[in-house]
Structure 1
Amino acid sequence: MIRMADIREWRTHDVLDNRGHRIGALEAIYVDTGSDEPAMATVRIGLPTRQRLVFVPLEGAMVGPGYVQVVHDKALVKQCPSIGTDDVLPAEDEEAVFQHYGLPYEPGAKGERQLARR
C-alpha cells in the first residue's frame, strides 16, 4: 500500500498503466473517508489547451523513480468519468467512477462521500 506521506511527493510525476505506458501526470490524491487511506488519484490528460482530470484507483499501485504505476490499462483510465482541471468531483458523480472500474461504492451511513481530496 502506498502511504499518504509518500504519494504527496509524486504530484506532477508520470502515471503509468499496467504495461508501462504513460497515461498522464499525477494531479491529486483522494482518500477513502472510512479508512483515510489513499484510494484514487486524479491524472491530468489531454492536449495542453484541453486538459481534464480522470480518476484511477491506487489499489495495487507501485511507486518507482519519477512515476506511479497503476494496475489498469491506459484506455480504461482515459474512458473514466472526468472533471475539469479546476473542478471538484460532484457527490452525485462519485459512484460512476467506482462503477467504471467495477469497484463497490460504499458511502457513509448518512450518505457521506466515500472519497475526499488530500
Structure 2
Amino acid sequence: MIHSADIREWRDQDVIDPRGRRIGALEGVYVDTITDSPAMATVRTGMPTRQRLVFVPLDEATLGPGYVKVAHGKALVRKAPSIGVDDVLPVEREEEVFKHYARPYERGADSGRRLARR
C-alpha cells in the first residue's frame, strides 16, 4: 500500500501506464477523507505553455526508481476530468472523476468533500 508520506516524495516524477508509456509528471495527491489514504493523483500533462492536471486513481499504483506506475492506460488518463495547474478540484466535480474510472462515489463526512489535497 502506498502511504501519503511516501507518494509526496515522488512529486515531479514520471507517471507511467501499465505498458510503461509516460503520461506526465506527478503533481499532487488527493486522499480519501473517509479513510485518509491516497486515492487520486494529479498528473501534469500538455505542452509547457498549456498544461493541465488530470486525475488518476492510486489504488493499484506501484512505485519504481523515478516513476509511479498507475493501473490505467495513457489514453484513459489523458481523457480524465482535469483542472488548471493552479486550481483545486471543486467538490461539485468529484463525482465526475470517480465516474470516469467507473468507480462508485459517495460524499465524504457530513455530505462534504470526499477528496482532499495533501
Please tell me the TM-score bracket, short chain as reference.
Answer: over 0.9
Aligned length: 118
Task: Evaluate the alpha carbon distance shift between residue 23 and residue 39 of structure 1 in structure 2; reply closer, same or farther with a 3 A threshold.
Answer: same
Alignment gaps of 5+ in structure 1? none
The normalised TM-score by structure 1 is 0.97
- Structure 2 residue 61 is the aligned partner of structure 1 residue 97: no
Q: RMSD over aligned Cα, in angstroms? A: 0.7
TM-score by length of 2: 0.97
Unaligned runs of 5+ in 2: none
Cα deviations by residue, 1:20-65 (Å, 9 ceiling, x for unpaired):
1000000000000001000000000000000000000001100000
Following the alignment from structure 2 to structure 1, what is the Cα–Cα distance between the partners of residues 108 and 40?
17
Instruction: Determine the structure 2 residue equivalent to 1:43.
Output: 43
Rounded Cα–Cα distance in structure 2 between residues aligned with 1:94 and 1:21: 26
1:12 Cα deviation after fit? 0.2
**1:76-95 equivalence runs, <5 A:** 76-95=76-95
| Paired residues for 1:27-38 under 5 Å | 27-38=27-38
CA distance in 2, matches of 1:67, 1:31: 19
- Does the residue aligned with 1:77 lie in a helix, a strand or coil? helix
